[in-house]
Amino acid sequence: MRASVVICTLNRSRALTRALRAIEAQTGVAPEQAELVVVDNGSIDETPTIVKEFRRYARFPVRWCVDERLGLSNARNRGVADARHELVVFLDDDAVPTPGWLAAHIATADETHADCVGGRITLAWETPRPAWLHPALDPFLGRIDLGDDRGAFDFPHTYPGGGNIAFRRAVFGQVGLFDPALGVRPGRLVGSEETDLCYRIERVGGRLVYEPRAHVTHPVPAAKLTKQWFRRRAYHAGRTACLVELRHFSRAALLARNLGRLLTRPKPAPGVAALHPPPMAARLFLAEFRLLFALGYLAVLLRRR
């Protein structure tokens, strides 16, 4: 099996440089087994120069394309269109894969016949973790860690993260591409385009597999470690969760399922270590986050159609 690695980027030339170097350091994958597609979503920084320079010495074929239709879903769809191989592997432009990352994605898709492979994402803290930040909120910084064993995702209770995810190319012909109505873009915080796609794959009987060896680290910049950032993230995460679920379930079904548990969302993700005991500041802020998440969810669920 051969793989097309797709990186969608917008004005993150420094982070992109780290990702490209890590791709060059991949082991267990022959040059003819993979290619790299960089989708520039309208950068005005040094991104074109960096990609052009990287192409001069890269071990894998590298193609650079520009898609100025703003939005991550648009960029992802351009990457799918330009990808030439049977496995399409998406990597965030600020994520750093471990040396065996790509080989693990290819082997898992090949051995399990999965339609989607989600990898492990751990966090790289650029500044010390605040005392008020509960581990249950780590997934909202990108963390996906279901342990050391390969296994099926319990979708939708556990699901892959978009920053480290692979799809069998054929599945896009079955369920369609990423929905441009979702996906983060400047001025819009509605994401979860990969979750929506996973719903569609699961509903046609597709397989979603977790592979811990397909491991990347994701930086956590100091700018995100503020309560203001998390409060905004909580409300919009609640809105996004409801928007995605309404595409696949009726409003009545969601009301019946969620009214009893809204104030307990989000549940701690598997693999997230608990504090012993959690500081009071962390427990209080987790409760605040859950409330804001619930308000965002209800704002969409109860609005007039």
Indicate the domain borders of the chain. Answer: 3-224
CA 45, 49, 50, 51 torsion-angle sign = positive
DSSP3 helix / strand / coil % (the chain, rounded to 5):
45, 20, 40
Q: What is the mean pLDDT of residues 112-130?
A: 96
10-12-13-16 Cα dihedral, nearest 10 degrees? -100
Q: Tell me the pTM.
A: 0.90
The residues pairing with 282 across neighbouring beta strands, listed in sequence order, are none
Q: How confident is the model at residue 230 (pLDDT cuts 50, 70, 90)?
A: very high
Neighbours of 75 (CB within 10 A): 28
Q: Are 79 and 88 in contact (CB under 8 A)?
A: yes
Q: Which two tokens stand for residue 83?
A: 């990808």
Class of 3-224 in CATH = alpha beta
Q: What is the mean pLDDT of residues 16-24?
A: 95
Q: At what angle do helices 13-24 and 47-57 cross, to 10 degrees?
A: 10
What per-residue confidence (pLDDT) applies to 274?
47
What per-residue confidence (pLDDT) applies to 189?
62
Q: Look at residues 298, 113, 95, 141 and name the one whose alpha carbon lies nearest to residue 208.
A: 113
